[in-house]
Structure 1
Amino acid sequence: MAPPRAPKSAAPPPSAFRRWMKCLMVWGGGLALLGLVFLGFAVAFAAQSLPSYAALKATQPGQTILIRARDGRELVEIGPSFGEWLNYKDIPESMTNAMVAVEDKRFHSHLGVDPFRLTGALVEGLTGSRARVGGTSTITQQLARNLFLNNNRSLDRKAREAVLAMALEWKFSKEQILELYLNKVYFGGGAYGIDSASRKFFSHPATDLTVGEAAIIAGLVKAPSRYSPTSDTQAAVDRAKVVLRLMREQGYITPDQAMVDVSAVQLKEQAGQNSVRYFTDWVLPQLDIILPETYEPIEVWTTLDVGMQRAATAAIESNTPGGAQGALVSLDRDGAILALVGGTDYVASNFNRATTAMRQPGSAWKLFVYLAALEAGYTPEDKVVDTPVTIDGWSPRNSNGRNVGETDLRTAFAYSINTVAAQLGNEVGFGTVASMARRFGVTSEVETYPSMVLGSSEVRVIEMTQAFAAIAAKGTAIEPYGITKVTGASGEVLYRHASRRNAALVPDYVVAGATDLLQAAVQTGTGRAAQIGRPVAGKTGTTSSNKDGWFIGFSSGVTTGVWMGRDDAKPVPGLQGGRAPAQAFAAFMRYAVKDRPVEEFDVTLELPEWQLEPDEEAMFGDPEDYYYIDEQGNLVEPDRRDPSQSPFGVEGEGAPPAASEDFLEEATGGEIPRAPPRRPPSQPAMKPPEY
């Protein structure tokens, strides 16, 4: 009999790890399936909610702003620029291939989201690696973002972008998606779509794009400003070479085609709207203040005169010394900006020297010194002395190193004598001069050190022009403005400039005196180069070592300020306010006022009564010879200070009153008590009662 078999041992129970792994796989699979179902519903719902293809074609991102001159002519269009819409069959194959190669090489196989890119992004996020070259967004995701979302990088936005991308793939074909993308993607410089970009950069429609040009355009999407061929040609060429290499690696072009010389591509010459952009750059930020928030297309009607702007540009370009910059601002009598030039070349430098740059005005600042002196009682004929002077340790010198001695105020201003300006500023007070500048529209910081009278405080060209324009407006405050009205898409007026009644800044006689001085500076003084064959009033300004040159003046209701100098404030040989700036002023003003009537300046000083009272004491000799009135109102002869020695006898006897009783009654408005009649000498006077 066989021995009994041993019973089989029971299978070992599964380990806890295996149980957990099994649970995770089951639950993970279940959650993944649930997530896919949820994602499917989300994509289906989004696809049903998407606008039609025709509606998506009609949408345009961004706001278009059309800026017009004062006569309605178009100056510049800011914002999105759209070319012709190209159907997919009309888009050059090299363009679609270039875009797919550089932006989304698996475009034709994925469902809106590239799992390989997504996995790479997750690995990068976990490891911190920066090995990936491409971005995570597919062409479809980029289209979804451009059409429906913003550019923030939140996880929520990325999730919505992915859902919308898959919804686009669900609803539209690959060809439709590429057509939408290539007609709407932003390529920089305001150009949306390949046709707009082709016309902007190559001056021809996108249907004529070559392989090299297509590579340049495709390379822009990653960073439109960095790779723009108009701002950095070499960066654009280098990026295009990367696109050509990717096209070759993915089989879109042959090695020979990939060797195309991208640097030989003919770019459109950017002839600058040039100087007009200085004006539009100054105007556009004001829209945020004067308009309610709106995204509709708008038209901005401005004060700029196209002819004057061209004349101003030519005057600055032809007169500014080599290596220097120039700026010009011209105002109408109500403050409307007729022309504004912020530099010699906007394309080379868009820094606006007319409205932003802070420079020392030199002797042009003396306008405020003499305004304060005129308000204090000086007249253009008053005598002053040009002599060496020291004020608080500061000793100003004249530009020619000489002093002429006694002269009049008009001559001192016309020839810009520094020592006289210093004495006047010291007399009226440097704070008074600073206050006068503030009164006339200078908002920049003004120092009150003695040297401020010679223009040591930095100001803007537009500020100084505004101040001189107030003199041209007979002492009325002027506020520069550039926008007359703004209209919406349907023609409704969203904003209209309202004229304000501004108060007089100084009395009429001060304005007349200042105009007299300014006219003399052009007729016989340092500003003779600014003469234009009709009355002109103005002032030159030159800073130390010829770092800045100014001329600001007015004629026939037009006020123009010109500045020249280097951005680094280095000396400019031969630069003086009475030369190049004055010549540029004259060249511009001859055009600016050619159709305006000749206006003579009113320099007649109708002084107030307090200045017209005769100073009779000054007409006589030594003060010791003067008659005077004592405290009792008695007339006292010279050298008879003792009333007892009065020629009229005993004190109070025979002395005539200082003023008649009739005059005193009229002046005081009351009756003057009459003195009792005098008794004959034979009768004793009545003794007054004692109290």
Structure 2
Amino acid sequence: MSKRGERLQNKGARGSRRAATERNAAPAPRSKPAGGGSGGGGEPSRMKLWARRIFVWGGGLAVLGLVFLAFAIGFAASSIPTYDALKATQPGQTIVVRARDGRELVELGPSFGDWIDYDDIPVNMRNAMVAVEDKRFHSHLGIDPIRLTGALVEGVTGSRARLGGTSTITQQLARNLFLNNNRSLDRKAREAVLALALEWKFSKEEILELYLNKVYFGGGAYGIDSASRKFFSHPANELSVGEAAIIAGLVKAPSRYSPTADTQAAVDRAKVVLRLMREQGYITPDQASVDVSEVQLKEQAAQNSARYFTDWVLPQLDIVLPETFEPIEVWTTLDIGMQRAATASIEANTPGNAQGALVSLDRDGAILAMVGGTDYVESNYNRATAAVRQPGSAWKLFVYLAALEAGYTPEDVVTDEPVTIDGWSPRNSTGKNIGETDVRTAFALSINTVAAQLGNEVGFGTVASMAKRFGITSNVATFPSMVLGSSEVRLIEMTQAFAAISAKGTGVEPYGIAKVTTSTGELLYRHQDKRERGLVPDYVVAGMTDLLQAAVQTGTGRAAQIGRPVAGKTGTTSSNKDGWFIGFSSGVTTGVWMGRDDAKAVPGLQGGRAPAQAFAAYMRYAVKDRAVEEFETTVELPEWQQEPDEEAMYGSPEDYYYIDEQGNLVEPGRRDPAQDGDGPEGARPAASEDFLEQATGGQIPRPQREPRRMPQPQATRPPPDE
């Protein structure tokens, strides 16, 4: 080949290589190669790289976590007291509650029986507790991975299939010994660390012995011996299978499953414990079939009704005291003699199958007596402070307060007649109407139609606002029937409102704790009287006291008379479901309610009967050592409620003469001169006698205020035939 041909051939080869290079530099196709080409090889490599990094870092963090956990467990184990020291500690706080004279009402707090060593604890008691609280107790190291995993799955899926809690017996012991019951993640983490430390430091037998001697079983009982003596009247080393099942079942919810509070609930829970013991091989089927309903419970001594009061007052310690665990003494406002009288009056006067409640306040709001029901052992539900019921006509206190503040007086004329307001037609309990009467009589006889008209005139929102002003915190409706007490309230609220009238219109706040001291006498808290403001003017208080006194003297509350001035009001709801009487005398205000918890009718129940009789029976004792106090009932209206002096001096416009359009003189009271006689006998003076005396400096007689008449609702119609 010629040199020229070689050069051309080399040039062509170089061009081919350049074209190939350009083709290789072009963008790769978007689709991945079907085979193992080089197009997608980078991405799997990156994934493997990150997987290796995660594995390495995760393993490193896990190792660091384990090291940290080991140090935490070791530190916790070194900090845990010795076994003997833990045996000597007693959880809980002792509280002595005293009456106002210093006598002890009740002592609350932990109750401990004898310490029962592990070998002396009945085997069935040990097995029952393990079966129901921690079936893998003997195999785990303080926390149960299976239960913990189940809890995590439940948290993610929302399932409720898992039975039992996540805490093992060791964790529960750690919480009881060292922690509180907050359900925070931090507390659970510390609980787990302490449980592992306990397992590291003590044997399973020691842990179970500590647990069974310290766990809380309700009713103030800590440990199985205290619980056994409380519920079965014998020590724990004599527990039967059925009794052990009852006690073991209490740990989950001591108040719910307490045999003294709900026997059936305790029996049902014990049956669950027996079934678990059988399934886990601790007892035979014959032992599991024991009838726990036949277990003999300890006869409970009758408890003083003062427990209603202590149950209400003790939670307030969390508000008035800083956190303290030392023994304390709570000095209350309760009067033991008055409490006994209150209990006796409710027991003696409450109709059969009904409940009764009473609360009594001193003039400063101090609670003198409180009864929340007819039998505390049978039911500890406090109907004086917790139950909300319709007050009936006792609610008219706020209707008439609003009317008096608007300018009505006890002597003003009102009309008892059929009335309809926004489609609502109230009727009187007698089914009759008496026509014209005065405000005092309408209130004393509890006439519904008058209350409805007054509420309509002043405004139902005004009545609701008045109730709130006097301390009603329950929801108050503003539809027309609210004037007859359709809004549900608490007895203590209504009593507080009446107490403000007794205190001459000054707000009263009920309280039960006078002071708190340590067991050595150091003062931790003392009640401070609040500077309460006046709720209504004096003339309103005087008028309301007049009405309340009339209700007892001549009206529906006559059964509440006690031989000295009493002011009060009855209340009865439809179908005799509730009966109320609330009143005051000599600075003591007392409210009584009676009815059924299921709100069914109580035949014959009326506020003026059993509740008023219970009020009188209690109040005769409550005020026997107090001076007789007459009520201030003189109503002195402010100037803005009276006739202006200038108008009174110059009389009515009809008393003046004037000139008509034709220039004729028109004498007072006449518009047509032709109607007058011609002689002097038919003529009238050109000015009133009052005007002439004013002009000549003579004495002007003060005009008398005309009785106020109630305007009628715009739309009225008679109620339908009954």
TM-score, length-scaled by structure 1: 0.75
Distance 1:617 1:186, change over 3 A: closer
Which residue number corresponds to residue 631 of structure 2? 601
Pick one of 521, 526, 546 that aligns with 1:496: 526
Distance in 2 separating the partners of 1:58 and 1:630:
105
Whether the 8 Å contact between 2:506 and 2:535 is mirrored in structure 1 is yes
Task: Assess, with a 3 A threshold, how the Cα gap between structure 1 residues 206 and 451 changes in structure 2: closer, same or farther.
Answer: same
Query: What SS does the corresponding residue of 1:338 show, helix, strand or coil?
Result: strand
Q: Distance in 2 between matches of 1:467 and 1:169?
A: 59
- Aligned residues, how many? 622
**Partner residue of 2:15?**
none
CA shift, 1:312, in A, is 2.5
Task: Assess if the C-alpha contact under 8 Å between 1:112 and 1:168 holds in 2.
Answer: no
Q: Secondary structure at the match of 1:538?
A: strand
Question: Per the alignment, do residues 473 and 641 of structure 1 end up closer, same or farther by CA in structure 2, a change over 3 Å counting?
Answer: same
Q: 2:554 is matched with which residue?
A: 524
- Matched residue, 2:655: 627
Secondary structure in structure 2 of the residue aligned to 1:299: strand
- Between the aligned partners of 1:425 and 1:131, the Cα distance in structure 2 is 57
How far did 1:267 drift? Answer: 1.1
- Conserved 8 A contact 1:521-1:538: yes
CA contact (8 A) 1:112 1:141 kept: no
Q: Quick check: 523-532 or 253-262, which moved more?
A: 253-262
Residue in structure 2 matching 1:362, options 368, 392, 395 = 392
Q: Is the 8 A contact 2:111 2:222 kept in 1?
A: yes
Correspondence list, 1:556-595, <5 A: 556-595=586-625
Q: Tell me, in whole angstroms, the C-alpha distance in 2 between the residues paired with 1:153 and 1:445.
A: 33
User: Structure 1 stretch 38-47 or stretch 448-457: which is displaced more?
Assistant: 38-47
Residues 92-117 of structure 1: CA deviation (Å, up to 9, x unaligned): 5664465456656786x768559xx6
Does structure 2 conserve the Cα–Cα contact (< 8 Å) formed by 1:112 and 1:162?
Answer: no
Between 1:328-337 and 1:121-130, the stretch displaced more is 121-130
Structure 1 residue 417 displacement after superposition: 1.9
Q: How many Å apart are 1:552 and its aligned residue?
A: 1.0
Q: Give the equivalent residue in structure 2 for 1:672.
A: none
* CA shift for structure 1 position 378: 3.6
User: CA contact under 8 A between 2:97 and 2:107: conserved in structure 1?
Assistant: yes
Alignment of 1:340-379 (within 5 A): 340-379=370-409
Does the CA contact (< 8 Å) of 1:118 and 1:136 recur in 2? no
Alignment of 1:272-421 (within 5 A): 273=303, 275-421=305-451
Change (3 A) 1:235 1:288: closer
Q: Alpha carbons of 1:268 and 1:613: their partners in 2 closer, same or farther (altered >3 Å)?
A: same
Which secondary structure state, in structure 1, belongs to the residue aligned with residue 612 of structure 2?
Answer: helix
Q: Does the CA-based 8 Å contact 1:111-1:169 persist in structure 2?
A: no
RMSD across aligned C-alpha pairs, in angstroms? 4.7
Cα 1:367–1:171 shift into 2, 3 Å: closer
Report the CA distance between 1:206 and its aligned residue.
3.2
Most deviating of 549-558 and 225-234: 225-234
Instruction: State whether residues 658 and 667 of structure 2, in contact with CA within 8 Å, keep that contact through their aligned partners in structure 1.
Output: no
Amino acid corresponding to residue 469 of structure 2 in structure 1? R
5+ residue gaps, structure 2: 1-57, 660-664, 681-685, 699-722
CA distance 1:427–1:56, change in 2 (3 Å): same
Q: In the superposition, relative to structure 1, how do residues 617 and 388 fare at CA in structure 2: closer, same or farther (>3 Å)? A: farther
What code does the residue aligned with 2:576 have?
N
SS in 1 for 2:530: coil
1:49 deviates by: 2.4
Structure 1 residue 540: deviation in Å?
A: 1.0
Q: Is residue 476 of structure 2 the alignment partner of residue 446 of structure 1?
A: yes
Q: How far has the Cα of 1:359 moved from its partner?
A: 2.7
Would the alpha carbon gap of residues 305 and 153 (structure 1) be closer, same or farther in structure 2, given more than 3 Å must change? closer
Using the TM superposition, give the Cα deviation of residue 324 of structure 1 relative to its aligned residue in structure 2, in angstroms: 3.4
Letter in 2 for 1:147: L
Deviation readout 1:443-472 (Å, 9 max, x if unpaired):
334344443332233332222211211111
Q: Indicate how the Cα distance of structure 1 residues 611 and 133 shifts in structure 2: closer, same or farther if over 3 A, else same.
A: closer
Change (3 A) 1:546 1:615: farther
Work out whether residues 627 and 636 of structure 1, in 8 Å CA contact, stay in contact via their aligned partners in 2. Answer: no
The residue type paired with residue 380 of structure 1 is: P
1:73 to partner: Cα distance:
3.4
Displacement of 1:526: 0.8
Query: Secondary structure in 1 aligned to 2:535?
Result: coil
2:461, 2:267 → 1: CA distance?
A: 59
1:254-302 per-residue CA deviation (whole Å, 9 max, x = no partner) reads 9987776543322123456474343334334433333334444443322
* Worse overlay, 383-392 or 534-543: 383-392
- Which shows bigger deviation, 159-168 or 176-185? 159-168
* SS state at 1:301 partner: strand
Q: Distance in 2 between matches of 1:525 and 1:48?
A: 77
Q: Which runs of 5+ in 1 are unaligned?
A: 1-27, 664-691
- What pairs up with 1:64-143 in 2 under 5 angstroms? 64-88=94-118, 91=121, 95-96=125-126, 98-99=128-129, 112-113=141-142, 118=145, 139-143=169-173
Is 1:550–1:576's contact at 8 Å kept on the other side of the alignment? Answer: yes
Q: Percent identity?
A: 81
Match of 1:552 among 550, 575, 582: 582
2:297 matched residue in structure 1: 267
CA distance in 1, matches of 2:241, 2:362: 53
Q: Which moved more, 1:89-98 or 1:243-252?
A: 243-252
Deviation at 1:544, TM superposition (A): 2.6
Moved more, 596-605 or 458-467: 596-605
State the one-letter code of the partner of 2:209. Answer: E
Structure 1 CA distance for aligned equivalents of residues 603 and 333 of structure 2: 36
How far residue 402 of structure 1 moved from its aligned partner, in angstroms, is 1.8
SS of alignment partner, residue 329 of structure 1? strand
Tell me if the contact between 1:333 and 1:559 (Cα under 8 Å) persists in the aligned partners. yes
- 2:229 corresponds to which residue? 199
**Cα separation, partners in 2 of 1:413 and 1:95, compared to 1, 3 Å:** same
Q: CA deviation at 1:168?
A: 3.2
> Who is 1:188 aligned against?
218
Q: 1:537 to 1:256 in 2, by over 3 A?
A: same
Partner residue in 1 for 2:35 = none
Aligned partner of 2:655: which letter?
Y
Mapped contact 2:150–2:162 kept (Cα < 8 A): no
Counterparts of 1:204-243 in structure 2, within 5 Å, are: 204-225=234-255, 227-237=257-267, 239-240=269-270
Residue aligned with 2:593, SS: strand
Query: 1:529/1:248 Cα in 2 relative to 1: closer, same or farther (>3 Å)?
Result: same
Moved more, 202-211 or 129-138: 129-138
Shift of 1:553: 0.8
Map Cα deviations across residues 102-159 of structure 1 (whole Å, 9 max, x no partner). Answer: 656786x768559xx6568769978999999887766444423432356688998777
Q: Mark the CA change 1:286 to 1:659 in structure 2 (over 3 Å): closer, same or farther.
A: same
CA–CA separation in structure 2 for the residues paired with 1:566 and 1:590: 26
Q: CA deviation at 1:341?
A: 2.7
Amino acid at match of 1:457: S
Give distance in 2, aligned partners of 1:242 and 1:368. Answer: 54
Letter in 1 for 2:606: Q
Q: Residue 577 of structure 1 aligns to a residue in which SS?
A: coil
The 3-state SS of whatever aligns with 2:509 is coil
In structure 2, distance between residues paired with 1:343 and 1:359: 14
In the superposition, relative to structure 1, how do residues 213 and 388 fare at CA in structure 2: closer, same or farther (>3 Å)?
closer
